[in-house]
């Protein structure tokens, strides 16, 4: 069965510091991994994805994610956090057999303090 785990409910970081939001996955076959961000009272917005190729994926708003096959992880990173990055972040994996099914993690609330 496919699944995604986000082990941290909340991550606190000071503005200007690097941030990491963790995600581990379990999937049959090659993983298709995604990160989405949700601002208050808004829908989910796509940030980046890993399909194949380079393990370091760059996305929107200066975010990047590192795919690690041996650790089955896909952590979201940013070198210098902004207060405006404060939001809820979701990791997702596509079903290996049904391209229309996505499995989401429980979400991590990122708080960036000035």
Partner 1 sequence: NAGVTQTPKFQVLKTGQSMTLQCAQDMNHEYMSWYRQDPGMGLRLIHYSVGAGITDQGEVPNGYNVSRSTTEDFPLRLLSAAPSQTSVYFCASRPEGTPGTEAFFGQGTRLTVV
Percentage helix, strand, coil for the chain under 3-state DSSP, each rounded to 5: 5, 50, 45
For partner 1, which is the closer residue by CB, 43 or 114?
Answer: 43
- Out of 36, 63, 67, 74, the only residue in the binding site for partner 1 (CB under 8 A) is 36
Residues 6+ apart with CB under 8 A from 70: none
> Of the ranges 11-19, 20-28, 76-84, 89-97, which one interacts with partner 1 (CB under 8 A)?
89-97
- Out of 7, 12, 14, 101, the only residue in the binding site for partner 1 (CB under 8 A) is 101
Q: Does residue 105 interact with partner 1 by CB under 8 A?
A: yes
Shortest Å distance, C-beta 30 to partner 1: 10
Reading the block at residue 62, the tokens are 């200066």
- Out of 10, 17, 28, 45, the only residue in the binding site for partner 1 (CB under 8 A) is 45
Q: Rounded to whole angstroms, how far apart are CA atoms 1 and 57?
A: 25
Q: Checking DSSP bridges between strand 87-94 and strand 102-104, what pairing results, if any?
A: antiparallel
**What is the SS3 assignment for 71?**
coil
Q: Does residue 43 interact with partner 1 by CB under 8 A?
A: yes
Using an 8 Å Cβ cutoff, are 83 and 114 in contact?
A: yes
Contacts to partner 1 by CB under 8 A:
4, 6, 9, 32, 34, 36, 41-46, 49, 51, 90, 92, 94, 99-107
């Amino acid at each position: 069965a496919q699944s995604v785990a986000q082990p941290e409910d909340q991550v606190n970081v000071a503005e200007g510091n690097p941030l990491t939001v963790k995600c581990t996955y379990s999937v049959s076959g090659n993983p298709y991994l995604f990160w989405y961000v949700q601002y208050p009272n808004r829908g989910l917005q796509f940030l980046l994805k890993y399909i194949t190729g380079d393990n370091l994926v760059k996305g929107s708003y200066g975010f990047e994610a590192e795919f690690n096959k041996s650790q089955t992880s896909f952590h979201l990173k940013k070198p210098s956090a902004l207060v405006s990055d404060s939001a809820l972040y979701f990791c997702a994996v596509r079903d290996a057999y049904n391209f229309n099914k996505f499995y989401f993690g429980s979400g991590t609330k990122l708080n960036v303090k000035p």
